[in-house]
Amino acid sequence: MRPLLAALITAACAVPAVAGPIDSIQYRTSLRTNLTPGSGPTHLPGETAYTLPAVLPIGVVASGVPDWTSADPAYPAAGFSVAPLGGFTPFTPERFTDTFPVIEGGGRFALDVDLRDQQGQVGHVTVTGAFTSTWDGDRAFIGLALDGPEVTSFWLGHNRYDMRLGYGWAPQYQQREDGQREEVWNAVDPIPVRDGPYWVESVGGFYASLTPTATPEPGTLLLAGVGLGGLFVGRRLRRLHLG
């Protein structure tokens, strides 16, 4: 009997895990800081302007994705998606040149990410850290220091997903001659542009790769439980018989 129970347990642990289809996920985000909102070049829902503590006036517009948005596969038949989540856009009322010193300011941020599947099951992830906006001449940069790891997990029903966070310009997936896909980044050299009384510069934003992770089905866990239970009962009866 013991070999049979051991076989059942081994089979239960070896059953392939199943995760939900990646193209069924939707997401929405909001980005906030510990600074006081102020005036700035905001135009869309989910955007908030912040003036940063710095030697010269600079600021950032924090933007999220306020409406539910589909997280489509990164390419046809991909087992993951890449979703833009919002980010920081540096701005200043004065266009800087190479004669200006390096100017920087920053604060703390929290990126809230809500996710849901076709069954309406909702998950939530909050990423926190520190950010810095830097102007070096007429070039702007955003620097981040996350409080936690770049990869975090969330559950939608019985399915677990891994979310890997990045910042900047999201990668593209180019198909090679052999049919395989490779991750590539396009060269981007943004310049400041006029937006009313401000100069703004796009420097990318948060993006996340969402990947379904293998998780045991409820039936698999039940089968493993039955096997362990039977093994325990068999051992108990054997002890009673020997006693």
**pLDDT: is 108 or 176 the higher one?**
108
Instruction: Please give the pLDDT value at position 189.
Output: 75
Q: Please report which confidence band the pLDDT of residue 240 belongs to, taking 50, 70 and 90 as the band edges.
A: very low
Residue 66 shares a structural domain with residue 2: no
Instruction: Please give the pLDDT value at position 34.
Output: 97
Residue 137 shares a structural domain with residue 173: yes
- In the chain, the number of structural domains is 2
Beta bridge partners of 29: 113
Return the number of other C-beta atoms located less than 10 Å from residue 124's C-beta: 10
Q: Please report which confidence band the pLDDT of residue 158 belongs to, taking 50, 70 and 90 as the band edges.
A: confident
Q: Please report which confidence band the pLDDT of residue 210 belongs to, taking 50, 70 and 90 as the band edges.
A: very high
Nearest CA to 65 among 81, 87, 50?
87
Residue 8 shares a structural domain with residue 104: no
The mean pLDDT of the chain is 83
Domain that residue 222 falls in: 1-17+217-243
Give, for 70, the enclosing helix (H) or strand (E): strand 69-70
| End-to-end CA separation in angstroms for the chain | 20
In this prediction the pTM is 0.78
Instruction: Please give the pLDDT value at position 237.
Output: 43
Residue 165 shares a structural domain with residue 47: yes
Tokens of residue 127, six digits = 């990423």
Residue 125 shares a structural domain with residue 41: yes
Beta bridge partners of 183: 173
Nearest CA to 5 among 242, 241, 227, 243?
227
Q: Please report which confidence band the pLDDT of residue 215 belongs to, taking 50, 70 and 90 as the band edges.
A: low
